[in-house]
Every structure is written in C-alpha cells, then in structure tokens.
Amino acid sequence: MFGPGSQFHALINDPRWALAMVRATVLEAAHPQIGAALLDNSTFVAHPWRRLKNTFLSMQRMFGADEQVRRREAARLNRLHARLRGTGADNRPYDAMDPAVRAWVVGTMFESAVTMCRLSGQPLEQKTMERLYVEFRAYLAAMGGEAGHLPPTLAEFWPYFDRVVEEELENTEAMRIILFKLFDHLPAPPVLSGFPALWATGRALAGPAIGAITVASLPEAFRRKTGLPEIAGAQTLMQGAYLAAGLARFLPDGWIQAAGIVDLLATSPHSDDPRARTITALGEQMKRAGALLRLLTPLPRQPEHEHTGDAPTQYSAQEFFTEVLDQTGDGYLDWPDLAAMARELAGRLDLDEPEETRLYNAYADWWRELQSALDTDGDGRVSAREYAAAVPSLAGPALIRVAEVLFDVTDKDGNQRIDADEYRALFQTAFHRDIATSGGTYERSAFVGEFLSFMSGRRRTTPFDPLLAQA
C-alpha cells in the first residue's frame, strides 16, 4: 500500500503531478467548508512555497514505507485539523475534521491523478487504477478517516464524485483566488528572490496560462455550475501542457525528482545549500553584467544610491506587518496568523504532545495580549494602521513567554543550550554563519533576545526572517 512499489510512489516524481495537484486544490477549495477553512487559516496566499514544501513533506511521510513515521504524521495532521474549525464569512460552520470533508480531499487527489494520466494520453489500466484507489483509501484510513465516506470500490467512486460536484461544490472565494489571483501575484520562491524582474516577467506569462490550463482540465459539470470562462484554445493548451509534462518521463533517472525541486524552491538564498550558492552567484554575475551594460549605453546616468552589498537591516512597519505578521495574507492580524506561526514552528521541530500544545498556548496568550493592546476599534482583529500606531506593544510579557517556550521545545535534550543539530532542526536552510554562538551552542538568553529582536525590533539579519517571512 505504501512506500516503494506502490502506485502512488511511481507517481510522486511525475512532472504531471504538479498540474494535477493544482487541479485537486481547486476542487477542494470549491467545497464550502474547505474554502472557508482555507480563507480563515491557510497561508497559501502569503506563503505558498512554504505551504507547498510542508504539504509535500507530509505526503512523503504518509505514503512512505515507515509505519511509525506514518502514524506520527497522521497524529500531527489530526491535531492540526482539529484546530481548524469556525464560521465562514457566510455564517456557515466549517470543521476540518468532518469525515465527509476529509474523504473529499482524498477523493480529489485520486481523481486528479487519474485525470492527469488520461489528459496526457497515457490512461491508467483498470487494474492499476483500482490499485491506486485502494492506496488512497488506505491513506484515508491511516488518517483515521471513516471508510464509509469514501466508497469501497472504484465503480462506486465515480457516481460519488459526480454527486459531490453537482450537489455540494460552489463558486467559493478561495477557489477564485487560486484560479484568478494566486498565480498572477505569486511571490518568488526564496531561492529566486534575487531575480525580481526575471520572476515578474515569467509570472506574467505563466500565471494566466496555468489558470487557463487548470480551468480547462476541470469537470465540465463543475465549470458549467460555477460559470468558469471558456477561453479559446484553452483545451489545446491544456492537452499540450499535460503531454509535454508526460514526455519528461523519458529523461534520465534523477533529473526530475519532486523532493529535490521542492527543497530547492524553498531554500533560502543565504543557506549553506550549494545549489542556492550557485544561484546567488549567478545573480551577482547578472547584476555586474547589467551594470556594465548601463556604462556602455549612451543613456544619461541616473543618481545612484550607496550599496553596501547587504540587505537592509530593518523592516518598515508596513513590510513587517505584511511579510511576517499577516501570515494568511488577508490584510489583518488575528489568531489564525499567530496559529500559522505556531504550526510552522511545530512542524519544523516535529513536535509531539504536550510540547505542541505548549507552543500553541503561548501564541494564544500573545494574541490575547496583542488584541488587548492594539485592537482599538474592537473588531476582533488588528489592522496595519492599528499595528503601526502601537508597535512597541508587541514586546510584552506574552511574547517573551513565546520565546521561552520555543527555546524549550527546540532544546530536545533539555541541557539549557541549543547545539548545532537542534538549531538546524528549527532553521534548516536558514542556518546563518553570522549568528553568534559559543562552542557550537546557543544559549537561552541569546536565543530569546534574537527572537524578541526580530518580532519587535524587526531586524532582517536574524535566522527568523527566512523562517517566518519568506514565501
């Protein structure tokens, strides 16, 4: 069912899987409960690359061969989803632990995997399709999902899928954001942050194309129901994209590895990863070439600002609010934003109970402190203007408590110091050489001070910047 030899394992490194997952995400977001949960809690708008890496890592753990790893990941996901419940903008409740909702998520993944093969001219054989369906049902069972909410046989799955599309899916705001806004405004992945002009040009071309390809690949009944546009040539473009992606299977083994690509995209340009250093060096060469070209052109020279070669050491209040505090990208600071921070930190550290709950509780206390200090209009959230007017209030006792708890859960061996391995577990690709350490350790006071300096002083030179700010 899992690991090497499974049908899913054969698909995970297939380039077509990227197109299929975008399609599956749209079908998930069109479910009213999932769409509301995404809008209220997800970081997919402000931090899409981080979300991609976390999702891919979770799927690797769940579909890997190690049963113990799968059980721990299932328990972690269940704790995460249990915290995602509330009421959407339309006053309808949502609950990420709803068995029918969880079954639909798994169903969209399976159906999109089958569709990607069909659209690229390589339809799965019946036995292969049935085996893949058994594996996805096993995935749902490993999560603790109730078997009755996903039909027991493949023959019964297709009527189930059509019924949900016809009766339950809607033209949700989350779905529209994914299709028509996300790719048009997609931030550069961390490793390409030094190429803003190149990224903007590529995004302007690729964004609309990805949206058109995704729309064209969706079920006709769904497109008709939600009023999605019919774009001339979109079907041809979609089929060409799937066919081209399918041809990548003829490349030598190892050239297309999803795990390696995802890791590279999420890598900080300042990390120790040699691939990131290569890209950074290429960027410097491009800058020098651009400067030389400007010197050789007859155009009048523009005033130049002094350049030190280093990134600015401070955020502006607006930048810090947008890039760090507003994790969900809705323009406000509220509990889901701080919960997203706790979720990212707990995931990196692979925390179990009770440490995970300790971290969430510390962030919850900080949210209550922030709400009391900054929410001047009483609407239950903090706007960028309210934040800018009371920045010093960020560094209160509750934030200090967050720093203390974060140190405790990072210090796995409890020796009151963080060694290099523990440090890397938290910061991974953001392990900077310029962080002050003593004898390969990181003392509590220095760690707490660095965290407080970032969260209240808005310093850009700490390792927390790639951890919480990058896309």
pTM, 2 dp: 0.81
| Alpha carbon 19 to its chain's center | 16
Range with lowest mean pLDDT among 164-168, 202-206, 460-464:
460-464
Q: Domains, the chain, ranges and CATH?
A: 7-250 (no CATH), 267-296 (no CATH), 317-468 (1.10.238.10)
Q: Which of 214, 192, 190 minimizes the C-alpha distance to 202?
A: 192
Mean pLDDT value across the chain: 82
Integer Cα distance of 201 and 273 in angstroms: 26
The pLDDT assigned to 459 comes to 67
> How do residues 227-270 score in pLDDT, each as one tens digit?
998 888 888 999 888 888 777 767 666 666 666 666 666 666 65
Q: Are the beta carbons of 164 and 104 closer than 8 angstroms?
A: yes
User: By 3-state DSSP, what share of the chain in percent is helix, strand and coil, each rounded to 5?
Assistant: 65, 5, 30
Q: pLDDT category, 307, cuts 50, 70, 90?
A: very low
How far, CA to CA in Å, does 4 sit from each of 11, 13, 66, 256, 444? Answer: 11, 12, 11, 17, 42
In 83-121, where does DSSP find H-type helix? 99-119
Integer Cα distance of 51 and 57 in angstroms: 10
Produce one character per residue of 368-386: b if its CB has 16 or more CB atoms within 10 Å, e if not.
Answer: ebbbebbbeeeeebbbbeb
Flag whether pLDDT at 75 surpasses 80.
yes
More confident residue, 295 or 204: 204
Under 8 Å CB-to-CB from 160, ≥6 apart: which residues?
107, 150, 151
> How do residues 381-399 score in pLDDT, each as one tens digit?
999 888 888 765 567 899 9
Under 8 Å CB-to-CB from 37, ≥6 apart: which residues?
84, 86, 88, 94, 96
Integer Cα distance of 138 and 147 in angstroms: 9
The pLDDT assigned to 253 comes to 63
Integer Cα distance of 150 and 127 in angstroms: 19
The one-letter amino acid code at 180 reads F
The pLDDT assigned to 313 comes to 64
What is the signed CA dihedral for 286, 292, 297, 302, rounded to 10 degrees? 90
> How do residues 41-71 score in pLDDT, each as one tens digit?
998 888 888 888 888 888 888 888 899 999 9
The pLDDT assigned to 256 comes to 62
Q: Which of 400, 409, 259 minimizes the C-alpha distance to 347?
A: 409
Integer Cα distance of 327 and 460 in angstroms: 17
Flag whether pLDDT at 292 surpasses 60.
no
Work out the number of other CB atoms within 10 angstroms of the CB of residue 124. 17
The pLDDT assigned to 176 comes to 94
Q: What SS3 state is found at 417?
A: strand
Two tokens, residue 416: 């009151």
The pLDDT assigned to 201 comes to 86
The one-letter amino acid code at 323 reads E
Half-sphere exposure of 168 (CA within 13 A, CB side): 17
The pLDDT assigned to 368 comes to 93
> How do residues 439-465 score in pLDDT, each as one tens digit?
456 788 888 888 888 887 666 656 777
Q: Which of 14, 33, 34 minimizes the C-alpha distance to 24?
A: 34
Region of 309 on the Ramachandran plot (φ > 0 left; ψ -120 to 50 alpha; else beta): left
Work out the number of other CB atoms within 10 angstroms of the CB of residue 158. 12
Q: Tokens 């899409």 — which residue?
A: 48
The pLDDT assigned to 298 comes to 52
The H-or-E segment that residue 95 falls in is strand 93-95
More confident residue, 165 or 13: 165
What is the signed CA dihedral for 422, 427, 429, 435, rounded to 10 degrees? -90
Q: pLDDT category, 299, cuts 50, 70, 90?
A: very low
